Structures are given as C-alpha cells and as structure tokens.
C-alpha cells in the first residue's frame, strides 16, 4: 500500500496558513504560511525578535495560535497539546536546550523515548545506539551529568534526546546559539545528515549563512511576517538577503 518513493519524498508533513499568534493584544506573528515536506530541511531566518521562537512554540502547542495548521494531513483543532503532538511525532529542540541537568547523558536520552515507551515501544536501546552513531561524543560522555557538558555537547544532547522520539517533524530552535564557529559547522553537518533518515526539519536560525547552506527551502521572517521565501540557494544569492543577513561575505 506504500505510495511510490518519489511521491513519498514530496509528502507534506506540515502546512501552515494564516498563522497568527498574539501575546495579549500584541500580535507577535501575523498571517504566516509555510510548508515542510518529508525529508526536507526548511529554514526560517530572521533577526532577533522577529518571532522565530514564537513560531516554533506555537507550532508545538506551547502557545495558542489562530489560523490553520495541518500536520500529517490532519487539521489541528483548539484541543491540541504538546503531549498530543509529541505522540504524533513532532519534537522541539528548544533554544534553551532544557536538558535534565542533574541526570546522566544516557538518562536524558532515555527520557527522549519516554512517550514511545509509554506507547508500548521497547526499541529505545537500538534508537540510543543510532543516536550515539550520529553523535559519537555523546557515547563517550554517556555517564556524565548533562549539566557538566560543554555548550556544543549540550546542543548535541538536546538534538539526540529529540531524535530518541523518532520524530517525523523536528523543530530546531537556534541550534547555533552561543556556540563556537567550528562546533556550529559540526552541528549543521549533522542536521544535513539527518535528512537521510527521512525526518522533516524546520530550522529556525539567526545564523542565516549556515542555515541557508544546509536547507532546501527558506523563509525570511521580519517583525512577525514572512517577507521572502524561496529555494535556499536562490535566497542565498538574493540581494536583499545578502544586504540584511549575510553581509559582504555572501557575494563571494
């Protein structure tokens, strides 16, 4: 019954239209529309305060939102909660990582599979091995407390923990935040590799250059509205994007 592979590639995982999010009377996001396909990396770039984190929080059910969100072909109603979305394979790696600081790397990963475990799946050990293959650093540190990890390792752990849920849609909030350039390169290389696992990735980034480099498609978010969109290669050469986000280096 499986559709042919080519069709599967283009399966829409997430489709959002007219998304509006308000904090009280202040509108943080206005009339957003975006689409993420299976196995695709889509990035939303934009400056600080544009509403990038708000967008992910709204998609994850942490914030109430108006508009239409269709996830895995199902229209989300007002009763959507973080827990229900996690059950349906949506996972957020938050900007602040939100790790369990006084627990070992291994336990942090294990809890990433909590919902699958509760749902009757007992494959967390195999999944953990896969995560360790993606992030060998975490295997070395498996006994270490999460709170004692370096910034880069924490980001790896946050991503590894999210992958433990075997997500269908991975929401990444500023994975490059506060990391050294070499480590950022590492993290983005891993993000690009994840595409092969078939997971759809929505990557929100201030670091436009790195994000456009790995992404297939990109959106530019400015003060709560999407101002530009297109295949990331085209965006990376767009004059307006270069001037605002990439600086002179983008022309090289």
Sequence-distant contacts of 185-189: CB under 8 A, at least 24 apart:
185/210, 186/152, 187/152, 187/155, 187/156, 187/159, 188/213, 188/214
> What character string, x for contact with other proteins (CB under 8 A) and - otherwise, covers 8-47?
----------------------------------------
Q: Which of 9, 17, 49, 101 binds other proteins (CB under 8 A)?
A: 101
* Residue 107 lies near other proteins (rule: CB under 8 A): yes
Instruction: Give, in order, the Cα–Cα distances in Å from 74 to each of 71, 110, 198.
Output: 5, 29, 19
Nearer to other proteins among residue 50 and residue 99 (C-beta)? 99
* Residue 159 lies near other proteins (rule: CB under 8 A): no
Q: Which residues of 9-33 are buried (b: 16+ CB within 10 A; e: fewer)?
A: eebebbbbeebebbeeeebbbbebe
In the complex, minimum distance from the CB of residue 200 to other proteins, in angstroms, rounded to a whole number: 18
What is the chain's Cα-based Rg?
Answer: 18
Q: Which residues pair with 145 in a beta bridge?
A: 104
Nearer to other proteins among residue 109 and residue 212 (C-beta)? 109
Q: Which of 66, 100, 152, 225 binds other proteins (CB under 8 A)?
A: 100
* Residue 70 lies near other proteins (rule: CB under 8 A): no
* Footprint on this chain of other proteins (rule: CB under 8 A): 60, 79, 81-83, 86-87, 91-92, 94, 97-103, 107, 110-112, 114-115, 117-118, 161, 165
């Amino acid at each position: 019954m499986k559709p042919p592979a080519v069709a599967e590639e283009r399966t829409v995982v997430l489709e959002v239209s007219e998304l509006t999010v308000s904090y009280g009377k202040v509108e943080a996001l206005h009339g957003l529309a975006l689409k993420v396909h299976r196995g695709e990396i889509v990035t939303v770039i934009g400056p600080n305060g544009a509403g990038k984190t708000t967008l992910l929080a709204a998609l994850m059910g942490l914030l109430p939102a108006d508009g239409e969100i269709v996830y895995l072909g199902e229209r989300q109603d007002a009763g959507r909660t973080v827990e229900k979305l996690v059950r349906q394979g949506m996972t957020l790696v938050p900007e602040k990582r939100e790790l369990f600081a006084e627990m070992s790397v291994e336990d942090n990963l294990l809890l990433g599979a909590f919902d699958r475990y509760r749902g009757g799946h007992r494959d967390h050990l195999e999944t953990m091995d896969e995560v360790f293959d993606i992030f060998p650093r975490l295997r070395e540190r498996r006994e270490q407390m999460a709170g004692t990890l370096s910034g880069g390792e924490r980001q790896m752990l946050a991503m590894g923990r999210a992958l433990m849920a075997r997500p269908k849609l991975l929401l990444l909030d500023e994975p490059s935040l506060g990391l050294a350039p070499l480590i950022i390169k590492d993290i983005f290389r891993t993000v690009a590799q994840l595409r092969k696992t078939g997971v759809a990735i929505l990557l929100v980034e201030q670091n436009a250059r790195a994000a456009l480099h790995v992404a297939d498609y990109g959106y530019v978010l400015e003060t709560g509205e999407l101002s530009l969109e297109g295949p990331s290669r085209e965006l990376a050469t767009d004059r307006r994007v270069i001037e605002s986000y990439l600086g002179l280096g983008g022309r090289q």
